[in-house]
Chains A and B, each alone.
Chain A
Amino acid sequence: MPSQQSEPPDDRLARLRGPRPPQPYTARKITALTANPACARRAVLDAAGVDKALLAQRVGYEPRFGQSPFALAREQAFHSLVKWGGHAELIRLLREELSVPVAEAHVEDLNEVGGNASLPVRERETRRLIAHVASGQDVRLILDSPVVTLEVAGQTAYLEPDALTHRIGGKFYVVLIRSFAAIDGQANPTAVAETAKQAAVYVLALRRIFEDAGLPPEQLAHEFLLVCPKDFSNRPYGRLIDLRQELDALQFQLSRLRRAEDLAEQLPATATLDTDRDTDELASSIETLDASYTPTCLSFCEMARYCRDEADACAAPARLGSGVRNDLPGIDSTRAALDYLDGVAAPGEAEAEAAELLRAADRLRRLRQGAA
């Protein structure tokens, strides 16, 4: 029987998750984590690889995320169109967007390596190929679905960008293929922003690989090629998008993510996030993890509706949106704010100014509503 000391550091997280296999970290998860870095609950659940959708379901919240078969079909069709004929369309776009002659390139499909699709194997092969491509000036090799790793909150995340180009004009470019349309050169800004954040995750991970291999990380472009359908057609359209801002933001957010292990260590010994365990046990364990709920969570987190009910129960101002929360500086519950309005409680020193403004607003509201 192995002693406690010999256990690898992530064992506490693995024990929390239980016997189920861990859910992989994806670029989407990392960007979601940086969107709400204060949320310890999500940090631990993701680091432990807990299936959040299943967990939400177990505690009584059927998650409402799902992909339409139509959207899925379109995405797959577009992906295969871009990669059709030895990535002919991708090579055309690289030629157009980078205005350098990219006549031909060999494509290495890294979806599996010699019939082996396991992530560590693919990752090793990716490292080997990157070192190879970077070694000579003229190696023209596009990596299709490479696998790279990134340390996030003490956990290793395996990530799969759609493609990585060879050196073009001295730089390597990450390529992401998405199926939202660019109409008259304009795509949905929210979708583009989300894609750019994900691209930043890949670039950051690749930088680490370059550093490890002793390659200058400046060779990695701080732009990525976004490929999406043009106008209302299926024809691929590409644009280089600058990532410097996203990279800075991501690095900053990752550096201040509290290490998930430290958070996990603080949990009581009986805590469990094993989705096969009893609902009450799960619920009380989730409660011990602090959430930082905002209404935007509803659009990306499987646990959001659980956290929303929790925020409702403790009358957290954030559940009414950032507008209300910003108007209640120092006041940590809407119940307290209402008490100050009713005059049944006196605000503390730090809350006095905000409470005074609210009272003035309330008085005016009553007067003017009656006046009409």
Chain B
Amino acid sequence: MSALSTVAALTASRTGRAEPLATVRHQHLDQRPFVLVPLTLAGEACAPLAALAGTDPDNPTLLTVRQPRDRAERFRFAARLAALLLTYIDECRTESEPYTVGRGKDKEERRRFLRAPQLLVPNGEGIAYVRLLGRLTRLRATEGPYAVDPSVPTLGKWLTWFTDLAEFPDSSALLAMTRMLAAHWVTGQSPSEDSHLPSLLAWIDPPDGSDGARAARDAEDPTVWPPAGPSTDPVFDRTLHEVMTRYDEASDERGREAIGRQIDSELRGQMLPTWQLMWRGVELLRNLPEGGHVPDRWAFDRRLFSDYAEYLDADGRPQARRDHAVGAARRLARLEDAVTRYEAQRAFDDPLVMAEYELTGEAFTGTVTARDENRFIPGARPGSQVWRPTITLRTDDQVGLAVGTEVRSPARPTQKSRILEVHQENGVHMVVLQLEGGFANKRKPPAPPGTLAEAGEELTYTARFPEGMPSSLPSEEDTPWTHGGPPRPYEPTDEDAEETWE
């Protein structure tokens, strides 16, 4: 936690209302996200009990398992979820656009879909549930003694695709509502209490006539606001246990069906409040303007989606039980890369996030007091001269950056600048910056309009800026023998297909 969010939390605890942590939304929010509110049976590793799912806020589809320990029923649940989610995924695969990758001779033109699926779950445990359900279903066989519906393994592969991406901060394919809200608002309660969706939303959007603190406490009552899943409320479980026992013991088909409907309505009642909160959260987040880099990041998600859809059509083997070493190294490299880039992009998109860096001295904001447009310095070749204009900024901030550091400003993100001089004058810092490009390819003065800061302009500079090129590893086929050679893809075994699910 930074001093900035601490101040926000203090303020929130006084006003009884959540305080914004961001001025823009840093995640893509689709026009038509697929919302999934799951419930599981307590005590089991992954026994789906019920789910509310769909893209229509007013019309969720109810899926229930009336006998959660019955294997066939579980796979029927998976098939019904697959019918919903796979249709949604297919709908994203209609229009596409061209894009280019690589540069120079590696330049290549590819196509990506204009849309990609976005899956929203209530909380982090929801993501863990999606991962487990994916692991359980993706390795199943569609023929042989333990055959399941062909949609089941396909569902598993897609769910795994979603959860693999969920670890990357720059992806918006699978998002947990509590995490997304907590990234944009700070409440006057602790982060562990924020993981309860009803309390968190009570702080952000308290009901009329109440304040967040009070509403959040009220929202802890499980009889009014059931847990947002996938775990159920133990007290509700007692009721459910009783009804399920009656279901198992019902003597005739008609009586059983009646009890079955009662199970359905009990479960629906547990999930519906969360379903509504999910859409309330979507609405609140939509009210925030989208950050500048969000479309770029979503374009990358769309590219990954298009690639995976193509892979499933061509090859279609499921993800392995465990990552192999090469895949893990690649994943880690991309993850590290994604984190740094995402953090920098967030700061560039949002002055409130940039303020964190200002506070730690990694960024400063100042006013341009002077500029030297016609400055030339000796170049790399003997006798040559290169055009390097300077600007001088006056700042009240503590400048924690050393002379020689490369910095950039969100105002002109492509202009490479370097700190030439930092000195104090009457208690304020004066920073001289040398500008090394960003003049629309011009190599001598005058600078094209808008490319060189005017005196009086207020600018923020930081050493943390979105780097262009990610680290690169050789492609998987070119893995050298020192690293075990190209990894072999995972072939699901009979054991996988027969794996018990009890």
Show the binding face of A for B, using Cβ within 8 Å: 64, 66-75, 179-181, 183-184, 229, 231-235, 295-296, 298-299, 315, 319-321, 323-324, 326-328, 334, 337-338, 341, 357-358, 360-362, 364-365, 367-369, 371-372
Residues of B within 8 A of A (CB): 1-11, 13-14, 20, 23-24, 41-46, 132, 135-136, 188-193, 220, 222, 232, 234-235, 237-238, 240-241, 321-322, 350-352, 354-355, 358-359, 499-502
Q: How far is the CA of A73 from the CA of B241 in the complex (A)?
A: 11
State how many angstroms separate the Cβ of B46 from the closest Cβ of chain A. Answer: 6
- Which chain A positions have C-beta within 8 A of B45? 180-181, 183, 229, 231-232
Distance in angstroms between the alpha carbons of A233 and B495 in the assembled complex: 13
25 A-B pairs in the complex with CB atoms less than 8 angstroms apart? A66-B235, A68-B237, A68-B238, A70-B41, A70-B43, A73-B43, A75-B43, A179-B43, A233-B500, A233-B501, A234-B502, A295-B190, A320-B10, A320-B190, A321-B191, A324-B6, A328-B6, A338-B10, A338-B11, A357-B3, A364-B4, A364-B359, A369-B23, A372-B24, A372-B350
Interface of A is mostly: helix
Inter-chain contacts of A337 with B (CB < 8 A): 10
Given contacts A232-B500, A320-B190, A372-B352, contact A183 B132 (CB under 8 A): yes
Rounded to whole angstroms, the CA-CA distance of A321 and B5 in the bound complex is 12
Smallest beta-carbon distance A359→chain B, Å = 9
Q: B241 to chain A: which residues have CB within 8 Å?
A: 68-70
Contacts of B501 in A (CB 8 A): 232-233
Shortest beta-carbon distance from A227 to chain B in Å: 15
A183 and B136 alpha carbons, distance in the complex (Å): 10
Residues of chain B lying within 8 A (CB to CB) of residue A365: 4, 7-8, 352, 355
Extra contacts, 18 of them, besides A184-B322, A372-B351 (Cβ < 8 A), are A68-B238, A74-B44, A181-B44, A232-B46, A295-B192, A296-B192, A320-B188, A323-B5, A323-B6, A334-B13, A341-B10, A358-B7, A361-B359, A365-B4, A365-B355, A368-B352, A368-B354, A369-B20
Q: Which of chain A's residues has its CB closest to B5's CB?
A: A323
Contacts of B41 in A (CB 8 A): 70
B326 to chain A, nearest CB (A): 19
Known contacts A70-B44, A319-B190; is-contact A368 B1 (Cβ 8 Å): no
Minimal beta-carbon separation of B142 from chain A (angstroms): 19
On whether A74 and B43 interact (CB within 8 A), knowing A235-B500, A324-B6, A341-B10, the answer reads yes
Chain B residue contacts of A232, Cβ below 8 A: 45-46, 136, 499-502
Chain A's closest residue to B74 (CB) is: A232
Output the least CB separation between A111 and chain B (Å). 22
Ranked 5 nearest A-B pairs via Cβ: A323-B1, A71-B43, A372-B23, A181-B45, A295-B190
- In angstroms, Cα B241 to Cα A292, docked, is 38
